[in-house]
């Protein structure tokens, strides 16, 4: 029995052919993975199947494919006024963060209305336990970490009883425990008769997948059974398409004045709490100039809150004993004086960044630590912006709007924004989210080079050990808000 028939669909974005006459048929019992380099149309293919992306050709749904649910890489929820007018720092401001429903309320909204109350409650409890949401039920949506929010979106999708579940890089942002549990959960979903189509990396295809769609930069594609795909991958290997321009990098990394700080970061018995939920529990941590740190921990451990105290985004810094660049918070310094010395990127910054401005303006805004460009650049500043964009292989996207790019290209543009002023401190929170394997290797090599040449201070967050630059030699781990 045919579940879904995709016939010769083609998709253009900005007059570029992204998908060219792709056809495949999903039959009962088959599960599909979609792979390919960055920008080859993986996300737009899911959107076309979900009915949210214009395409030529046809997509025919069988009787058992009437209800299709898409879980996107980035999710924008609404506030109590049913708008999505959130701002980046809102999560850390206790008064403003009350403007969203709780996890439990959001799940109840997604529960099926055609079941009796007892069956619905039992199903919801099963989903909550499977996705480890028990301790988050009274948490406001805006206060969820990136990984916690991903687990919530999966739970909500399951409560809608989809015939086909579309997942766009579902492992992104999940900690090691969640990444291990998710394939087991998806396997159980498959056994219930739900069909799955997921975008994932070639090396992270779950065992239940039967077929693989490989997309190529020229818009072409290959559809084959997983066994044939595995055989081809094992003999072809991978060729890195991204090599840093050494000459350009040297010109961008001009000599800086010697760092004279005693400490970049110094925290004494730092405690952060929202209502009854303790986020950081008596943290003591020192970061000296030139040190390279890895900050790790499971979803919800407090990593983003810890970074928000360093990056001057969290007002609770004033209620704690925190020194940044040798100056105690609350002694008259402005947040702009702190941000001027810090280059920063995170999934949350990406989510709330203005998508309606050009990529050139996005990168240039990093010179002034604003979300948007409100000043006229001089010639030297323009040269820096163009140089960093060229180094990260996004120079050709200068005039394009951020919203017009793939998520991976958006992330590279935001990484250029973090680097453009060549600051003494880099805070990179899951910087490789959305990048393909070649781009990860490329970006790591750039961070290693920058950190070593300029004796940069680095705080790097990733759930994937292979993403951490080799220059990192100090490690801090949080669990339940405590250092372990």
pLDDT digits (tens, 9 = 90+) for 199-215: 999 888 999 999 999 99
In the chain, how many domains are there?
2
Above 90 in pLDDT, residue 147? Answer: no
Report the C-alpha dihedral over residues 462, 466, 472, 474, rounded to 10 degrees. 70
Based on the fold, state whether residues 198 and 324 are members of the same structural domain: no
Question: In angstroms, rounded to a whole number, what is the distance separating the alpha carbons of residues 129 and 119?
Answer: 16
Q: Which residues of 302-339 are buried (b: 16+ CB within 10 A; e: fewer)?
A: bbbbbbbbbbbbbbbbeebebbbbeeebeeeeeeeebb
**pLDDT tens by residue, 295-327:** 999 988 999 999 999 999 999 999 999 999 999
In a domain, 374, yes or no: yes
Based on the fold, state whether residues 228 and 253 are members of the same structural domain: no
**Given 186, 212, 236, which residue is the final one in a domain?**
236
Q: Are 312 and 92 in contact (CB under 8 A)?
A: no
Based on the fold, state whether residues 424 and 401 are members of the same structural domain: yes
As a whole number of angstroms, the longest Cα–Cα distance in the chain is: 70
Q: How many CB atoms neighbour CB 172 within 10 A?
A: 24
In a domain, 230, yes or no: yes
Based on the fold, state whether residues 346 and 398 are members of the same structural domain: yes
**pLDDT tens by residue, 157-169:** 988 889 999 999 9
Among the ranges given (72-81, 87-96, 246-255), the one the predictor scored with the smallest mean pLDDT = 87-96
- What local confidence, expressed as pLDDT, does residue 79 receive? 54
- What local confidence, expressed as pLDDT, does residue 77 receive? 61
- What local confidence, expressed as pLDDT, does residue 112 receive? 54
In a domain, 11, yes or no: yes
Based on the fold, state whether residues 273 and 402 are members of the same structural domain: yes
The mean of the pLDDT values for the chain is 88
Above 60 in pLDDT, residue 97? Answer: no
In a domain, 466, yes or no: yes
In a domain, 331, yes or no: yes
Using DSSP, state whether 388 is helix, strand or coil: helix
Answer with the residue of higher pLDDT: 109 or 386: 386
Question: In angstroms, rounded to a whole number, what is the distance separating the alpha carbons of residues 88 and 334?
Answer: 18
Based on the fold, state whether residues 340 and 312 are members of the same structural domain: yes
Based on the fold, state whether residues 273 and 224 are members of the same structural domain: no
Based on the fold, state whether residues 461 and 375 are members of the same structural domain: yes
| Mean pLDDT value across residues 360-377 | 91
Based on the fold, state whether residues 171 and 267 are members of the same structural domain: no
In a domain, 200, yes or no: yes
Banded model confidence at residue 87, pLDDT cuts 50, 70, 90: very low
Q: Are 270 and 322 in contact (CB under 8 A)?
A: yes
Based on the fold, state whether residues 329 and 426 are members of the same structural domain: yes
Based on the fold, state whether residues 223 and 307 are members of the same structural domain: no
- What local confidence, expressed as pLDDT, does residue 42 receive? 95
Q: Are 155 and 108 in contact (CB under 8 A)?
A: no
Handedness of CA 462, 450, 310, 325 (dihedral sign): positive
Q: What percent of the chain has pLDDT over 70?
A: 90
In a domain, 404, yes or no: yes
Domain region containing 425:
246-483
* Domain CATH number, residue 260: 3.40.50.300
Using DSSP, state whether 32 is helix, strand or coil: strand
Based on the fold, state whether residues 169 and 217 are members of the same structural domain: yes
**pLDDT tens by residue, 213-226:** 999 999 999 999 99
Q: Considering the entire predicted model, what is its pTM? A: 0.86
Banded model confidence at residue 423, pLDDT cuts 50, 70, 90: very high
Above 50 in pLDDT, residue 85? Answer: no
In a domain, 241, yes or no: no
- What local confidence, expressed as pLDDT, does residue 144 receive? 84
């Amino acid at each position: 029995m045919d579940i879904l028939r995709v016939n010769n669909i083609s998709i253009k974005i900005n007059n570029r052919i992204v998908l060219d006459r792709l056809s495949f048929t999903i039959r009962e019992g088959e599960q599909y993975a979609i792979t390919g380099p960055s920008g080859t149309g993986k996300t737009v293919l899911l959107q076309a199947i979900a009915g949210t992306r214009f395409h030529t050709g046809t997509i025919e749904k069988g009787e058992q494919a009437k209800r299709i649910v898409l879980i996107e890489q980035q999710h924008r929820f609404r506030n109590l006024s049913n708008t999505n007018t959130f701002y980046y720092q809102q999560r850390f401001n206790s008064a403003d963060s009350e403007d969203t429903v709780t996890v439990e309320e959001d799940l109840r909204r997604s529960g099926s209305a055609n079941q009796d109350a007892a069956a619905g409650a039992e199903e919801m409890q099963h989903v909550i336990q499977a996705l480890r949401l028990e301790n988050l039920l009274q948490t406001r949506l805006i206060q969820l970490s990136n990984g916690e929010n991903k687990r919530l979106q999966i739970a909500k999708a399951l409560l809608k009883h989809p015939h086909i579940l579309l997942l766009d890089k579902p492992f992104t942002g999940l900690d090691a425990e969640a990444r291990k549990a998710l394939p087991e959960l998806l396997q159980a979903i498959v056994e219930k008769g739900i069909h799955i189509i997921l975008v994932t990396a070639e090396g992270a295809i779950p065992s239940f997948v039967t077929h693989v769609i490989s997309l190529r930069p020229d818009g072409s594609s290959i559809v084959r059974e997983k066994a044939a795909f595995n055989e081809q991958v094992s003999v072809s290997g991978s060729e890195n398409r991204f090599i840093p321009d050494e000459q350009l990098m040297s010109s961008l990394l001009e000599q800086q004045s010697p760092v004279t700080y005693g400490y970049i970061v110094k925290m004494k018995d730092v405690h952060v709490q929202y209502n009854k939920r303790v986020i950081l529990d008596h943290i003591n941590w020192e970061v000296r100039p030139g040190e390279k740190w890895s900050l790790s921990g499971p979803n919800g451990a407090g990593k983003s809150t810890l970074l928000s105290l360093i990056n001057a985004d969290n007002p609770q810094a004033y209620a704690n004993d925190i020194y940044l660049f040798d100056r105690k918070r609350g002694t008259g310094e402005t947040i702009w004086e702190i941000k001027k010395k810090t280059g920063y990127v995170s999934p949350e910054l990406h989510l709330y960044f203005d998508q309606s401005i050009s990529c050139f303006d996005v990168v240039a805004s990093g010179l002034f630590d604003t979300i948007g460009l409100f000043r006229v650049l001089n010639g030297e500043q323009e040269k820096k912006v163009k140089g960093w964009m060229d180094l990260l292989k996004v120079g050709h996207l200068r005039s394009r709007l951020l919203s017009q790019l793939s998520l991976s290209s958006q992330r590279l543009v935001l990484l250029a924004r973090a680097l453009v002023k060549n600051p003494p401190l880099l805070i990179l929170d899951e910087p490789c989210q959305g990048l393909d394997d070649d781009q990860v290797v490329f970006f790591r090599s750039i961070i290693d080079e920058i950190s070593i040449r300029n004796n940069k201070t680095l705080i790097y967050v990733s759930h994937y050990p292979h993403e951490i630059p080799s220059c990192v030699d100090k490690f801090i781990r949080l669990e339940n808000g405590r250092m372990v």
